[in-house]
A and B are shown apart, each in its own frame.
Chain A
Amino acid sequence: MATIDVRGLACPAPLIKTKQALDKAEAGSTLQIVGNGEIPFGNLKNYLKELGIAYKETRVDEEWILAFTVPEKKKEGVVAENFCSVNPEAAEPGNGTGNTAENGTKNAAAAKAQAMPETRNNGMPGINITAHLNTPLPYMVVIKSLHMGQGEEALGTLLMKSYVNVLPELDYLPQVICLYNEGVKLAIEGSPVLESLQKLESKGVKIIVCGTCTEYYKVSGQLKVGSISNMYHIASLLSTMPKVVHP
């Protein structure tokens, strides 16, 4: 899932950034737009409606997130309303499994049926917004050491190994796993959780590795998963993700 940050942007810039991302993204992939301010929120929702895209909205204090599945690229003569059948379930954060055209259609029908009582509220047939407000927040997992919790080091190591190995089995996957300080060593050759991290990455979880840290520990050349990033990126993720988990 790709995240587009439109916080602090005045209209119509958030719409433009969203459209750029939509044009670039592959059909069926999930996009989420993180922003703030009521005017961009309203305008962007209206814009997505006009584009026939069903979205899921989440609010965290002043900030909001609109998540949706990228529709098939528009073809000549296709009615925009056809795209309303995008399945809002597929836009769940953490559902990185993607959806095939077949199950997308099936789920869309189900979502539509489920959404029927809601149509009066939001005027958008087939889109059920309110029912999805209770889903978990998109989140980032920060791993900063090889141990989980404080106490006996051997226990901590065991716990961390088991935590990362269990992550791919969760219903709601994190959007980002951020590794810094000694945590970067989990991403290198010989790590006991390498396979799990690779699995997570293949499911669409973004794995961010602190570049300064890999250099400090002299393991840059041994990285087997994730992508190197800088403090600006890490700091901005820490300050913008709706939820940050520190195991």
Chain B
Amino acid sequence: MKFDLLSTTQTGGCSAKLPAGLLSDLLKDIPLPKNDHILVDIETHDDAGVYQIQDDLALIVTTDFFPPLCSDARTFGRIAACNALSDVYAMGGTPLLSLNLTLFPAEGIPLEVLHDILSGGQEMVNEAGAFTMGGHTIVDEVPKYGLAVVGTVNPKNLATNDAAQGGDVLILTKALGCGVLIAAHRLGMAEESSYQKALAQMQKLNRQGAELMRKYHVRCATDVTGFGLAGHAYKMAMASGCQLHFHTTDLPVIPGVMELLEAGCVPGAAFKNLDFARPGLQVAEGLAVERKMLCCDAQTSGGLLMCVKPDVAEAIVAELRQGDFPDAAIVGSVKKGSPSVVLD
């Protein structure tokens, strides 16, 4: 019988993140030395750190790992790796090197499961054109897997979360609702086709999004993961000093997710994210609770949220849709104003 990885944990994927507010509070009194080569550090809560080593070359460093969010080992490996690689793409870069970060019990789970996780991860690293340089495996009861990734970017192509400008158009490349579907699947409530779509989407590298950002000179982006759309948008709004305005009816959603939210299938991580974003969140009168919670749903290996100039927005969405991201959509706009996220 195949081993079910979901049996090892209750909170899988990016929903296992420590609440954002908690983290920023405790990091406050640990000062980090810097130098002039550091282009992006933790200060703006961006997706990855960026360090310039030549005029035309900067390194992007990032890491991500988490407990299982699906039953199948290879799929889990692929999703975890895809999610870790995504941060490099969110900065407009290309993955170059990776290291496996693995926690696995010495007994209780067949070792083939570990093999399949690593093998799935390697498939994704191969797809990204990066190289695995090694890794580190620690004994732990609940398996966890992910990567530390080094990517490269020409600094003139760097896309950060602090460069949103009034008048920009917001594009989201993947549909929302992964967190809801993972929770619903555990309870046997998810439609199989919806769940499969979520799994497939989480294994889709954000590479094309990064390529298009370079092509269309997009300078502001983030990937939507554990803090949900609202949480990541809030981070972007704070880093950029502007207001992000979302038309929630334009948000791409995996089929079946709104019905699940309406039925009360709201994962706990969504409330954590709501708490995090709440200081900056402005919700239009009468907006359905389900729409608000959709915006707070923790995504794993989610899509890119880009701020693009209005004249290229439609072209980017058209290319995304013809390519890897049929759900890509224009979902709102950036306005001048104090850092906030508006949902209507």
Residue numbers of A with Cβ under 8 A of B are 10-13, 15-20, 39, 42-43, 46-47, 50-51, 77-80
Contact = CB atoms under 8 A, between A and B. Distances in A.
B274 A11 contact: no
B10 interface: yes
Contacts, number: 51
Contacts of B293: 50
12 contacts: A10-B10, A10-B186, A11-B183, A12-B267, A15-B265, A15-B266, A16-B187, A16-B264, A46-B271, A50-B274, A77-B286, A80-B289
Nearest to B285: A79
A16 B10 contact: no
Contacts of A43: 266, 268, 271
B292 A50 contact: yes
Given A13-B187, A16-B263, 8 more contacts: A12-B267, A16-B265, A19-B264, A20-B263, A42-B268, A77-B286, A78-B286, A80-B286
A51 B293 CA distance: 11
Interface string B260-281: 0011111110010010000000
B264 A11 contact: no
B189 interface: yes
A10 B189 CA distance: 14
B262 to A, nearest CB: 8
Report whether over half of chain A's contact residues are helix, strand or loop; otherwise say mixed. Answer: helix
Q: Which 6 A-B residue pairings sit nearest by Cβ, starting from the closest?
A: A19-B264, A16-B264, A15-B264, A46-B271, A11-B268, A43-B268
A18 B266 CA distance: 12
B286 A47 contact: no
A79 to B, nearest CB: 5
A228 B46 CA distance: 62
A13 B285 CA distance: 28
A20 B189 CA distance: 13
Report whether over half of chain B's contact residues are helix, strand or loop; otherwise say mixed. Answer: loop
Given A16-B265, A77-B286, A79-B286, A46 B274 contact: yes
B280 to A, nearest CB: 15
Nearest to A13: B187
Contacts of B263: 16, 19-20
Contacts of B183: 11-12
Nearest to A81: B285
Contacts of A19: 262-264
Interface in B175-201: 183, 186-187, 189
Choose among B262, B267, B286 the residue with the greatest number of A CB atoms under 10 Å from its CB.
B286
Nearest to A40: B268
Contacts of B286: 77-80
Contacts of B264: 12, 15-20, 47
A20 B187 CA distance: 15
Contacts of B189: 16
Contacts of B292: 50
A39 to B, nearest CB: 6
A50 B285 CA distance: 13
Contacts of B10: 10
Contacts of A39: 268
